[in-house]
Amino acid sequence: MKHDLTAMILAAGLGTRLQSLTHDRPKALVELNGKPLLQHCIDDLTENGFHHIVINVHHFGEQIIDFVNSHHFDAEIEISDERDLLMDTGGGIIKASPLFKDSKAVLIHNVDIVSNVDFKTLGQQFLDSGDDAWLLTQDRETNRKLLFDSGNQLIGWMNKADGQYKWVNLSYPNYKEMAFCGLHFFRSDLFTKFEVKRQSVIDLYLHLAKQNRIVSKPIKPDYWFDLGKPEQLKAAETFLKTQRP
């Protein structure tokens, strides 16, 4: 079935920062207020009009497959199986690219991101934009930043902790630093020419930005949580119980 937009949930990670919570389950099935992160993600995506969803799996991948098969979701869900080899964020997208062929564009959503970003509106805006990819960003503190020029085109990456820089071309004297949100849109054929191997999606975007429009799309949702650590999970649980808009 053809869909204008496909969503891919990155759920293959080991979840090591969540410590004991992922000793017997994948990060995707760690619960937030009684509901697995994966279910939060799927429910949010379907409410935003995404009815074709791809999920990549590795760590306890069979648990994710069983979970999807035992629930009725308002979406066609396909599995990209990385149980033999974890492909990292970029390699996982490349491996799954054949599953995007009937869509115009793809939204990538890390399974440990919980927010109220308006993906429905953003998806339509992206389809109309003519850009090759939108990296959803925020102006917040973090050691790792994406770097953009005055036209919001991706020009580099930096790690403030160790002073490392990666540039699309040559180093650039003036740039905007923005934090990546673990959310991005791209044209469905953008990654099809890359070799299927383990690699970072940031490195792929830095390469693509030499000849493609890879731009920053700043967002200001009411809430956005990266649930990579137990303390972040607790903070999200408290917020969603007491302050959720």
Task: Provide the mean pLDDT of the chain.
Answer: 96
Q: What is the pTM of this model?
A: 0.96
Class of domain 3-238 as given by CATH:
alpha beta
Res. 245 pLDDT band, cuts 50 70 90: low
Where are the domains positioned within the chain?
3-238
Which residue is listed with tokens 């429905």? 120
Tell me: the pLDDT tens digits for 213-237?
A: 999 999 999 999 999 999 999 999 9
Structure tokens that stand for 64 in this block: 């994710």
Torsion of CA 171, 172, 178, 182, to 10 degrees: -40
Tell me: the pLDDT tens digits for 67-105?
A: 999 999 999 999 999 999 999 999 999 999 999 999 999
Residues 86 and 73 sit within 8 Å (Cβ to Cβ)? no
Which residue is listed with tokens 């939204």? 107
Q: What's the angle, vertex CA 13, arms to CA 10 and CA 15, rounded to 5?
A: 125
Tell me: the pLDDT tens digits for 141-150?
A: 999 999 999 9
49: left (phi over 0), alpha (psi -120 to 50) or beta: left
